[in-house]
Structure formats: C-alpha cells, structure tokens
Amino acid sequence: MHTPRRKRLLAAGTAWAVAATGAVALSFGLAGSASAGEFLVNGGFETNALSPWTCTGSTGSVVTGHAHSGTYALAGAASASDTAQCTQTVAVAPNTTYTLSAYVNGAYVYLGVNGGTSTWTPSTGGAYQKLAVSFTTTATQTSATVFTHGWYGQGTYYADDISLDGPGAPASPSASASPSIPASPSPSTSASASPSSSASASPSTSTSASPSPSTSVPPTGSHALVGYLHASFANGAGYLKMADVPDSWDIIDLAFGEPDSITGGTIHFNRCPVTECPGVESDADFKAAIAAKQAKGKKVLLSIGGQNGEVQLTTTAARDNFVNSVSAIIDKWGLDGLDIDFEGHSLSLNTGDNDFKNPTTPVITNLISAVKSLKAKYGAKFQLTMAPETFFVQLGYQYYGSGPWGGQDPRAGAFLPVIYGLRDDLTLLHVQDYNSGSIMGLDNQYHNMGGADFHIAMTDMLLTGFPVAGNTNNMFPALKPSQVAIGMPANTYAGNGYVAPAVVNQALDCLTKGTNCGSYTPRAGKQPNLRGLMTWSINWDNYNNNEFSKNFHSYFG
C-alpha cells in the first residue's frame, strides 16, 4: 500500500494494456473544451532544471540526449523502492475541462492528475509515445497536481513536452507541493492505466450469478468501517497511537507485516521506531490498547504486504514459514486475524494456469493452503480480509493470467483463485478502487476512478459475478453482500481516485437502495447488506479531520 508506505495501487485497471502484446495502443485523447492556454511551467524542461517540478526521493533529473523535442528531457530513475514520481501543482478554474498530455519513453510509465484520471503504457519500445487524459475540475476546485512516474524495478523513464491545455488565460501556477510523503498499495501503489478506445472485443455480458458461498456472516443490517493504521512507519499523515484511534473504526488493519525475503515466507511485524515516530507508545501500551479496542467489539488484524512487502510463497517450506511466523505475530499481540494486501509481483499465474477454480501455480496454491492452516488453528473467530487492486480482480473480466496463447501480463486477475479458494473463510473483500486505470464493467464500458460510477461498477462485479476472460463457461461466482466493502482513499494525499462525501453517498445510494445511480445500473440490484467501506488510511482520515469516517457513520447511522 505504500512506499515505505502509501497505498498506491498497481495500475489496476488496464487489462487492455496487459493484454496481448502489441494489441492495444495506450495513448488516447478525450475531447476537451476549446484550448486557449498552457497551464504548466517548464513542461519541456528547456530551462535545464526541474523547478517547479518536484520528484520523490531525488529520483528526477534533467538530461540531454533523450529529448523528444528541443535539448532537454525529464529522467525519472525508478528503483525497486521508488516509482520516481514527479509532480507540478497549478492553478485551475472550477467546472473546467483540461487535457493533460506528455511524450514518454520507457517501461510502465504513467501520466495523470491527483484525485482524478490517469493513463499508462507498459512499454514504448524504445521510442517516445504520447499519453493523454482529460479531466474536469469540480465546482470549487482551484488547483490541480499533475504527475508522471515509472514503476518499481523498471529502470529510468523519460518524459518531455508535458502539457496541460485548457480554456482561458493560464493563472500563475503554484509550485507548492502536498505534504511530504514517501511515494507509495496499494494494493496499493500504482497509478493507473486507461484503455485505448480500440480495446479488444468485450466479453459477453451474460453473467448469471453463481450461488454465494456459505460462510458465517454478520447480522443483517450490520455495516463495518475498515481502516489501515500506520503501525510500522510514519509519513506525512503523522503517527497515531492505537489508543487514540476513534471508536468509529470497526476493523483496524495494522500496516504492515512484511517478509524477511521475497520467497522465504517468514513475516515480521516491526513497530514504528521512536526515531521515526517520536510519540510512539510502548509495546505494553500498544498491546493494552488493542485489547481495549477488542473489548468494545472492534477487530484488529495484521495486514501483510503493501507496496513494499512483496511475498511469493514459491515452496511448501515458504508456506510453512508463513504460517508459523504469522501465527507468532497474532499470538504476541492478541490479534483477530489477517488482511492480505499482496501487491506488485506477489501473485502471478504460470503459463497455462487458466482455471481459477483449480489453480496450479505454487504462489497461489501455497497462499490458499497457508491461510486455511491459519483458519484451522484459530477457528471461527479468525477474521480474514483482502485488499487486492482492481488489476488483480475486476481486470479478470477481460484478461486472466498470460492468456490462452501467452503474451499477457500473468498478474491479470491473479487474485481470483485466492478469493475463490478461500470464499468460505472470507470475512471481507475490499478491493482498492483507487490508483487504478480504467476498467471495463459488466456494461462493457470502461469506467474511470474518481466518480461514483467507478465504485458502483467495480462493486457490482463482485456482487453479480462475471465470466473470467469473457468465458461464460468459467464464471467467477458472486460474493455475499456482507462479504464486500468498497475501498477508497481518505483524501487526495492518500491516493489517486479520492471522491468527496457526496460522491461516496451516491455510490452507496445506488448499491444499497437502487437510487441515484447515474449512468450505471447494477446488475445485482439493490443490496442493503453491503458490508461497508474501507479506506487508506486511518491516519490520513485523521489528518483530514475524520471526514471519511464521519461521513460513513452519518450515512449508516
């Protein structure tokens, strides 16, 4: 979910992008208002300096020899721990449409606007490729932060001729940046992708739902608010003691348990050190506060993974190490269960592993086996939640693994066999509806994050079920509404795709009451027992005056 620790999700949405090699052009343009001005400063980097751009971790530089035009270009040195995100904040006018474009060169390069839409390309083939997105400001919006970045471990990317075009005379741009936070799951951490308008053939919409799993569920009418607590690190949101977490949170996920090594399976949970979190409480006080929350009916879980916590259980030995180490952490702190937040390259499918109901890939089968062992040890009280990115779930409607002929991204839909294999043990699934690209819904239309339709369409896929990779003979079955929550960022700093409380409520109205639905009509009908909402994170909500949690309880009572 973060770098060190912010949930930035893997370009969750662009199946078409991960689909057959070379089958899709990722750059696309959306019609905008008549142009009359350039709103970015130094978008061509011809000043031979970054300013007013700012880049995470000193990863950005201006270089020669790689320009699309002129002499200079931006070079972003993406590493195993940093996507090399570079941003610029500019003044904009309310209720106005702008078009953001750039020429990029590299692998997994992204372009977008914080809190709005974004696009990406998996590879430009060594040449420059144009990316473009359009967005419309809200009625009160007066600034926007645009970004470009690469992806973990993909090496240096180049960007040039970045432009934000819109009507009216450009206002003086502001170079002020958002609070200082490490570049990020979730999840969470990725920016997203947008499909080409000429995407491959849409899958069939005949989505007859399979029976929901029979598992113990909360009482009818019970709704839950889920949040992640920055327990092992600090960032711009600040550290929050467990005792100070408001009682409005029903499930508290401790972020994060991380592996000693990627394939070893052993998980550790290190609390935030005093050098990084000066106000951190003692272990004894932390454990006592957990017990106090539980005495009030709250659940406290260990979340494993996040953006930096890549876990690959490639062997049965790694599986056993996972079970033993996670059990030790649960026992030490008296926790209620486990949240699986595997991101990045933790889960992928081997070539030829095309049946989500009968997976053969070791990292999939060993994870399912490990969780079942934990469930068997702790029994019915064991809480199991999952926070996959849309790339690993809803993208499976179009693409699954490397595909029948190979060439696709093997991570596409890779969480589906895990969800299916653990459906009888699953307490709650809250897909990260943020840091995502456009994803095709059951209406065979692409939906973009940042609006109610995206949350409605993505959640409806879980409540209705869908044919995996368009194969109506291979249906991913619907989950019970009480097993589903919607994942959203708490504010614009927490992740791309933030929506205001009114938009949150619109999505809930449509999904739970069948009203206020906008352009998407849920195939599952109204589902008043939808479990609730998840957010990254409790800390960011606290930073934002608890807007997210207050709105949740205002809505559900």
Question: Residue 521: exposed, middle, or buried by beta-carbon count in 10 A (0-12, 13-18, 19+)?
Answer: middle
CA pair distance 346, 349, nearest whole angstrom: 10
Q: Mind listing the pLDDT tens digit for each residue in 57-72?
A: 889 999 999 999 999 9
Residue 22 has pLDDT above 70, yes or no: no
Q: Identify the CA nearest to 172 among candidates 90, 99, 94.
A: 90
258, 281, 310, 343: the catalytic one is 343
Residue 367 has pLDDT above 50, yes or no: yes
Residue 304 has pLDDT above 50, yes or no: yes
**What DSSP designation does 510 have?**
I
Residue 188 has pLDDT above 50, yes or no: no
pLDDT the model gives residue 297: 95
260 CB-near residues (< 8 Å, 6+ apart): 266, 267, 268
Structure tokens at 296: 């009030």
383: left (phi over 0), alpha (psi -120 to 50) or beta: beta
In whole numbers, what is the pLDDT of the chain averaged over residues?
Answer: 85
Least confident of 51-65, 179-193, 519-533: 179-193
pTM: 0.67
Name all domains of the chain by residue range, CATH numbers in brackets. 37-166 (2.60.120.260), 224-556 (3.20.20.80)
pLDDT the model gives residue 384: 98
462 CB-near residues (< 8 Å, 6+ apart): 393, 429, 431, 478, 479, 484
pLDDT the model gives residue 153: 74
Average pLDDT over residues 166-182: 43
Neighbours of 180 (CB within 10 A): 9
Question: 3-class SS at 218?
Answer: coil
Least confident of 321-335, 435-449, 527-541: 435-449
**What DSSP designation does 56 have?**
G
Q: Is 547 a catalytic residue?
A: no
Q: Identify the CA nearest to 189 among candidates 366, 56, 26, 351.
A: 56
pLDDT band at 198 (very low <50, low <70, confident <90, very high): very low
Q: Identify the CA nearest to 351 among candidates 397, 408, 392.
A: 408
Neighbours of 324 (CB within 10 A): 14
Are 153 and 399 in contact by the 8 Å Cβ rule? The answer is no
| Secondary structure element (H or E) that encloses residue 157, with its range | strand 156-166
For residues 287 and 236, the model is more confident at 287
**What DSSP designation does 201 have?**
P
Q: Token match 């060169």: residue?
A: 105
